[in-house]
Structures are given as C-alpha cells and as structure tokens.
Amino acid sequence: MINVAILGFGVVGSGVGEVIVMNNEKLAKSLGDGIAVKYIFDKREFEGTPWQKLVVHDIDIIMNDPDVNVVVECMGGAHPAYEFSLQAIKKGKSVVTSNKEVVAKFGHELLSAARENGVGYMFEASVGGGTPVIRPLVKCLVANEIDSVCGILNGTTNYILTMMNKYSESFESALSAAQEKGYAERDPSDDINGIDTCRKICILADIAFGYGMDSTTVYAEGITAIRNKDVALAEKLDSSIKLLGRAKRVGDRISVMVAPFIVSSERVISGIDDVFNAVAINGNAVGEVTLCGRGAGKLPTASAMVADIVDVAKNGGLNVSWCSPDETPDGILLTPDQVEDKYYVAFATHDASAVEEQMDVKILSQDASEIAVETPKMPYGELKNKLSALEAKEIKAVSVIRIF
C-alpha cells in the first residue's frame, strides 16, 4: 500500500484526495498496489466529512511515520512548504508538489536532496496544471536539443484576454468576472503582472537548457496595458493576443521572458482560449510539439499530482531526470533590450510620415486618432530608442506589443 500524506487540504489538496478515491481501482491496476490517503495536514478539521479522521496538526506525526511513502505538498507559498518538503525528503519520503513558487526558488536544491536520499521530487502540476508539460519535456523529448519552449502558462490572464476578445469586455470587467468564477485571486497581481507565468517559464527554461534561471530577475510584462482596441485589431489581423512565457536559444545565448504577444491563427496556441494552457516546444529532431489542457482547477491539477504519486511509487528516485543545472555562465541570458522581435506599435497620431521616417514600418490600421504599425525585427533596446526619438517629436506610442 502506498500511503500518502497531503499537506494543505484546500482546492488542490482535496482534489488529490478526491481523485485517489474516485479512481482507486484504475490506480491500483496501473500501480499493482493500492494508494491511500493516510494523513491530512491542515489547520481546519473538515468536520462531518470522511477526511476528518485523517487530519493532523503536528507535522512530525507525518515525518516520523515510516509508512508514509509520499508527501503531497499543496500548501502554497514558499514557507513552510519548502522546509516541510526538504524534511520529508531527508526522512526518505518522495515529495509531489504543485507549488511553482517553491519549485522556482528551491527546485534544484530539493531535487539534489531527493537524488541523495533516493526518493523523488516531482512537480508536473507546477506548470500547466493538468496539462502534461514537464514529463513530456523531460521524457518524451529527451532525444532533442530544445530550441524553444513557449506558451500560455496562466489561465487567469488567458481567460481575461479571451473575454476582451470574444465579448469586447474591458480589462476591469473581465478581471472581475475571473474573480467571481474563482479563476483569479482576490489579489490578482501575480497573475496579471506576469509573475506567475514567469515562475513557470523559468522552471521550463531550467529543464530545457540546463541552466538555473532566477525568476525574480527575468523580464516579465503583464497584460494590464492591453487595450480593447489592440485586441480588436489583432482579431482583424486573424490573430489573438496571448500572454506568453518564452524561453529560446539565440545563437549560444538564451532569452527568457514574459510578455503579451500577438499570435497568428496559423499557430495552435493562438486558438487556445479561456482558462486553457498550451505549451509549444521546439526540438531539433521532433520539430514543434504542442500540449494543451486545463491550466488550473481542482481535478485537472490533482490529475497531474496523482500521476506524479504513481510515478514515484513505481520508480522512487529512479525517474528524477531533470539534470542538475550546469554552472550558469555569466551573461548567457540576453538582457530584455537585446532580444529581437517584431512589434505592433500604436501611435497617438494621424500622421504616418514621421513614424515612417524613423522606421521601415508596415501600416496595419489608421484612424483619426491613431496609427498602428508593424515594425521590422529589431532589439527591444533599439525600438525604445526609436520610440523616444518619436516622443521627442510629440508622437507618442500608446501601445507596444510583440509579434510572435
């Protein structure tokens, strides 16, 4: 019997319990052994539910019980989730988590500790929710040098952008709707400012390139500056605006960043709407592989975590194959100003000639108050210089969005 202790029995934690009960027969068949929840660590009591008798408030009961094989960490926040995870690993228990903050900050340390102790540290659910991303990247595409990983990694912002696109809702009302539906936190700043996406793309970049990425220093732009006018123009161009995390090789350097992009409908991720996530991975043998699914939610996230439980129960530490990062060479990461893209820029002017003097642009639309253009590919720093030069002539850029 595989005995599981669940730390934090909120939405995701209780989902893990639910999936283990709901699909117990299938799991036992796949694993050749049963899975049972032995403990729930939470402040609450869950009175009147079948879970009540499993609740403990003293973490040491779990840590000191040799029958607990797997600790499922669904606490959220860096502390004490990190400390509990490390303690469990040192006690010879595998740890499964959905906590992207802990993985982004302490993933390498916890993986090393897991390797030393012959147990697993698994975190499929930390990126993409129920969408398989980490295991496909690590396992299915192992034969590839990864050229890029790019995707919609945050369901809240994708929902907001979808509402702005499909129903012409304002950013504010779309955000309120997301909060009402439980897709967005009361404080949505980590989502709408790109911080959540940034943690996830850093985890994927670590795995793809083998360097440690510090998500607190990686460039992240959110969606708060996106206007309905921009969304409508993208639609007219048979494209959509998506908040993307993007990690790619550029020569012998690497670019990792988060920003909204205008994505042509030719690309699968352009049509991934609502709270769905999608990740496009380019490998030097396989070409492009795209993985789509629910990026959050109780049962989808639990689906990923229970798969991790089965994996560590079957293979223990054997399957931990995220390579330790190489020493990250100084300057391997391009600065935001060095990264080249094409840009959509809207200027508050009706006179195209001054803009055309500055850049060889393609006019996308023009009305009494604004001109929207597509620029050639250039480093972001160069674009900023050109925009400053135009601003000095009182031609102000009111919107700048990268083109994917």
> Stretches 3-11, 46-54, 223-231, 291-299: which one binds a second copy (CB under 8 A)?
291-299
The token duo for 404 is: 């994917």
Among 76, 80, 92, 136, binds a second copy (CB under 8 A): 136
Determine how many CB atoms are found less than 10 A away from the CB of residue 103.
Answer: 29
Which residue's CB is nearer to a second copy, number 124 or number 196?
Answer: 124
> Stretches 112-120, 128-136, 224-232, 394-402: which one binds a second copy (CB under 8 A)?
128-136
- The candidate with the shortest Cα–Cα distance to 67, out of 90, 37, 26, 87, is 37
Which residue's CB is nearer to a second copy, number 319 or number 365?
Answer: 319
> What span, in angstroms and rounded, lies between the C-alpha atoms of 221 and 292?
23
386 is catalytic: no
> What span, in angstroms and rounded, lies between the C-alpha atoms of 188 and 371?
32
> What span, in angstroms and rounded, lies between the C-alpha atoms of 41 and 256?
36
- The candidate with the shortest Cα–Cα distance to 322, out of 81, 142, 167, 181, is 142
Which residue's CB is nearer to a second copy, number 189 or number 265?
Answer: 265
Please tell me the count of residues contacting a second copy according to CB under 8 A.
Answer: 56
> What span, in angstroms and rounded, lies between the C-alpha atoms of 74 and 298?
11
> Stretches 22-30, 240-248, 351-359, 363-371: which one binds a second copy (CB under 8 A)?
22-30
Among 253, 314, 342, 384, binds a second copy (CB under 8 A): 314
321 part of the interface to a second copy, by CB under 8 A: yes
What letter does residue 97 receive in the DSSP assignment? E
Containing 293, the helix (H) or strand (E) segment is strand 287-294
Which of the residues 38, 200, 298, 386 is marked catalytic?
Answer: 200
Which residue's CB is nearer to a second copy, number 268 or number 403?
Answer: 268
Are the beta carbons of 23 and 33 closer than 8 angstroms? Answer: no
> What span, in angstroms and rounded, lies between the C-alpha atoms of 74 and 243?
25
325 part of the interface to a second copy, by CB under 8 A: no
Question: Among all residues, which ones are annotated catalytic?
Answer: 200
Q: Which residues bind a second copy (CB under 8 A)?
A: 15, 19, 22-23, 26-27, 29-30, 124, 130-132, 135-136, 139-145, 210, 265, 268, 271-272, 283-294, 297, 299-300, 302-307, 309-311, 314-315, 318-319, 321, 323
